[in-house]
Amino acid sequence: MLGRLTAVVVLSAGAALLSPLPAPAAEAGVTGVALQKVGGFGANPGALSMYVYRPSGLPAAPALVVALHGCTQSAQVYADNSGLATFADRHHFLLVFAETTSANNASQCFNFFEPGDNRRGQGEAASIRQMVGHAAATYGVDPARVYVTGLSAGGAMTSVMLAAYPELFRAGAVIAGIPYGCANTVAAAYTCMSPGTDRTPAAWAQAVRDAYPGYAGPWPRVAVWHGERDTKVVPRNAVELRDQWTAVHGLDQTPDRTSTIGPDQTRREEYLAADGTVSVEVDLVPGIGHGTPVDPGAGAQQCGATGTANFIASICSGYWITGFFGLDGSAPQPGGLPAPAALAASDVTDTGLTLDWQGVSGAASYAVYRDGVRVATPAAPPFAVTGLSPGSRHTFAVAARDAAGVEGARSAGLEVTTTGAAPTCWTANTYQHVQAGRATTAGGYAYAKGSNQNLGLYTTFTTHTLRESPPGFYVIADGACP
């Protein structure tokens, strides 16, 4: 995954990080996915190449999945081995494969760690954004059904795209990647990969919000796939990605559902929004290291090939990712109702407020979102919001729903701060928090009273900010306390 022009520095899709990589196995695997190279898709500041797979039977307004390969790989290798084309054929969506080269990175890794490539409007991130725009203009892609996935450096770049362009992607799937904002240098990228970087959910979420300041949601849904024996990008990154995106969605880090899937009993954890939909899921694949999980064969839940390194026989991740994206028909697609206009707040108090907006013709009800999470479905405006904390700031949005409950476009976000004093905050080390009665200890670790969040080791060297609201209930608020 690393190294633009330094000694061969790579975040590999399966090779050692500080030594030259062997050439990929003749770009082998299974050939045959008919990719079309596309030129002139934009200014292309990241100097990437764009390839399209257009299956037969593509509808007038297809969904789009952007796929990002791992280090030492190419668009063709990822298309031939990942199994994504199988589901594009089956469910009739468009595939765009972005490709980097050794001119960008000595090991053909996306430069997820370069500030010039991992920011909105810059470098490789901007080039991928231009590919989506070109696909929309050329193939009539439905802008409400655009998704992104990738492996390793491509997985880390998937994190970049979800954070830098949250309005563009409805969902993403990060395979053996790292959280957004973990690395802006080569050295930091090594640390993120192994042993991993531990931050609070609030701090990780703030990194995402800082990628597009002022954006109020909705936030993309995120699936995290990781091999439990990955030594290149350690599984701790799956936990940190979970922390990042659950916090972005306003959720805690306790799974609402757990299950096993596939022939190898992959462990799945699901984190649900207020309406019961899955905002974040984590899929930990047993027995495999660093790579894209595939399951060669002709069965309904099989896909991919293992003829090239870092495509590992276990479970067809493409099958489950396609389902998570809702492209297999298992999830409802957005309706055509317009966004409600003139969203406004009144009667703001310490703990509540009233939202009002212009009604939409054809709407049977409305969905009210607070901080990106749906909290209610009133039949009509106005709507009373209750249960807020004094001095707290929230962003609200509203979408119209048809008689079948299908939502249309959401309104622009409205930021409102309740009256009253903001919650009290303390910044101290874990020893001081315990001594002050804001935390307890168990097994050498400190835990915030009320929320029971793990603050880390009970020591003078670990520091956190705690917020108290309501009295006696403490939560981690690093970088997020008023």
C-alpha to C-alpha distances, 61 to 54, 249, 355, 460, nearest whole angstrom:
13, 28, 34, 57
Q: Which helix (DSSP H) or strand (DSSP E) does residue 207 occupy?
A: helix 201-211
CB-CB neighbours of 38 under 10 Å: 15
Angle between helical axes of 201-211 and 236-248 (0-180°, round to 10) = 70
CA 23, CA 107: separation in Å to the nearest integer? 9
Q: Which helix (DSSP H) or strand (DSSP E) does residue 187 occupy?
A: helix 186-193
Catalytic residue among 12, 49, 82, 152: 152
Residue appearing with tokens 């949250």: 166
The pairing of beta strand 146-151 with beta strand 171-175: parallel
CA 373, CA 407: separation in Å to the nearest integer? 14
Residues 318 and 147: beta-carbon distance below 8 Å: no
The three-class DSSP label of residue 131 is helix
Sign of CA dihedral 42, 45, 48, 53: negative
C-alpha to C-alpha distances, 163 to 159, 166, 217, 345, nearest whole angstrom:
6, 6, 11, 28
Q: Does the annotation mark 152 as catalytic?
A: yes
User: In terms of residues, how long is the chain?
Assistant: 482
CA 209, CA 479: separation in Å to the nearest integer? 12
Q: Which helix (DSSP H) or strand (DSSP E) does residue 64 occupy?
A: strand 64-68
Residues 389 and 467: beta-carbon distance below 8 Å: no
Annotated catalytic residues are: 152
